[in-house]
Amino acid sequence: MSMIRESDRSRIATLAADPQDRGGPGTSLLSVRGLIKHFGRTAGLFSQRRSVVRAVDGIDFEVAKGETLGIVGESGCGKSTTARLIMQIIVPDAGDILFDGEEVGSHALSLGEFRQQAQMVFQDSYSSLNPRLTVEDTIAFGPRVHGLSRRTAIARAHDLLHRVGLEPSRFAGCYPHEISGGQRQRVNIARSLALEPRLLILDEAVSALDKSVEAQVLNLLLDLKEEFGLTFIFISHDLNVVRFMSDRVMVMYLGKVAEVGPAESILALPRHPYTQALLASMPSMDPDNRTQEAPVSGDPPNPINPPSGCRFHPRCKVVATLCAHSEPAPHDVGAGHLAACHLANPESGHPRLAAA
C-alpha cells in the first residue's frame, strides 16, 4: 500500500488532480449516446415468428463527476438493463458509452481498465457473493486478480471492512450465510470499492433490506462517496430513497427516458405526465388525506410491442391524437431539465397548449 493514508487520498484527489482523471473536471464521467438493446425471442417452439423485447430503445444521458444520478422507473422500463449495458455485462446493440471522454472497450480504455474504475452492487446480497469464499477472500479477490499480493490484498480487505462498519476481527473469516442481509450488502459494497473505482452503479442495492437497516446502508454510501470521491448511479423504484440520494434524476418508461434533470426540479415540478403519476402513486403518509383516485389505470405495457408514438399515451390523462403517432423528443424546459412530452414543448402543437 502507498505511504498516503486512505483517508487522505480523497482529500488529495479533490485538491490536486486525480491521476486517473484524464478528461478534466469539465468532462462527464459517463456519457451514454443512443444506447439500444433488443432481446430477440421466439414466440413458440415451432413458430417462425420472432418477437423483440425493446428493453432499452435509444437513450442518452450524462453523469457528471462526483454527482449521483438516480434512475427510477417500473419493472420492464429498462433501468437494470441500462446498468448492465454500461458495465458491458450485456453487450449493447448500438450506442456509445464514453467514460471520462474515452470509449469503453476501445484502444484507449480497455474493458479491463474500465471495469477497474466502474463497479456495481446488485440487489440480491446473497446470490452476488460466492458462498465458498470467506468475506475477506471475497473482497481481496478483485485486487489479487489485478496483481496485488495476497497479503496486501487481505490488508486492503480488512481496511475496507473497517470502513463499511464491519469489525475485521469478527467478520473477515465469516461465510456469506453466516451474516445478515445488511451485513452482506456491506460486504458487497466493500468488494466494489476494493479496486478503488470512480463510478459505482447501485442497482436496487438497498431494496431487499429492512427499512431500519436500509437507512444505515444509505448513510454509509453517502460517507463513502465523500471519502473516496465517488460518482454514483443509483437505481431504485423507491422515490423516497432516490429523493434523498440523488443530485439528478432520470425517469424511464418502457426503454425510453421520459424525463431527466435536477432532482429538486423533477420531484417538485415534474413535467412529464408519467413522472407526475409516479409521484402521485406514492402512498400518502397522512391518514386524514388518503389517496382517493389512482393516478393512472392499468399496468405498464409489455415492452415486446410498445405503443406507437409516445409510449405512455395509452395510460396518459392528457393524451391527444398527436401523441399516438408522433414520438416526443426530449425538450429542455430550463436548467438542464429535459422532458419527453409534447406538452413540455410549446411548438409541438398539442391541443392543450393552444387552450392554455
Least distance to other proteins from the beta carbon of 151, Å?
Answer: 31
What lies within 8 Å, CB to CB, of 193 at 6+ separation is 119, 160, 163, 200, 224, 228
Q: Which is nearer to other proteins, 106 or 297 (CB)?
A: 297
Least distance to other proteins from the beta carbon of 311, Å?
Answer: 14
Of 134, 152, 216, 326, which lies in the binding site for other proteins, with binding defined by CB under 8 A? Answer: 216
Binding mask 228-267 for other proteins (x = CB under 8 A): ---------x-xxx-xx------------------xx---
**Spatial contact of 266 and 99, defined as CB atoms under 8 Å apart:** no
**Residues paired with 200 in a beta bridge:** 119, 232
What lies within 8 Å, CB to CB, of 135 at 6+ separation is 157, 161, 166, 171, 172, 173, 174, 175, 176, 179, 187
CA–CA separation, 109 vs 175, rounded Å? 35
**Spatial contact of 256 and 272, defined as CB atoms under 8 Å apart:** no
CA dihedral 106, 55, 57, 37 (to 10 degrees): 30
Least distance to other proteins from the beta carbon of 347, Å?
Answer: 29
Least distance to other proteins from the beta carbon of 326, Å?
Answer: 24
The order of strands in the sheet holding 118-121 is 118-121, 199-203, 231-235, 68-72, 248-253, 256-262, 338-339, 331-332
Is 285 a binding residue for other proteins by CB under 8 A? The answer is yes
Least distance to other proteins from the beta carbon of 248, Å?
Answer: 12
Is 162 a binding residue for other proteins by CB under 8 A? The answer is no
Is 48 a binding residue for other proteins by CB under 8 A? The answer is no
- How many other C-beta atoms can be found within 10 angstroms of the C-beta atom of residue 239? 18
Which of the residues 294 through 353 are near other proteins (CB under 8 A)? 294-300, 302
Q: Which is nearer to other proteins, 103 or 264 (CB)?
A: 264
Least distance to other proteins from the beta carbon of 41, Å?
Answer: 14
Query: Contact residues for other proteins (CB under 8 A)?
Result: 74-75, 180, 182-183, 210-216, 218-219, 222, 237, 239-241, 243-244, 263-264, 277-278, 281-288, 290-300, 302
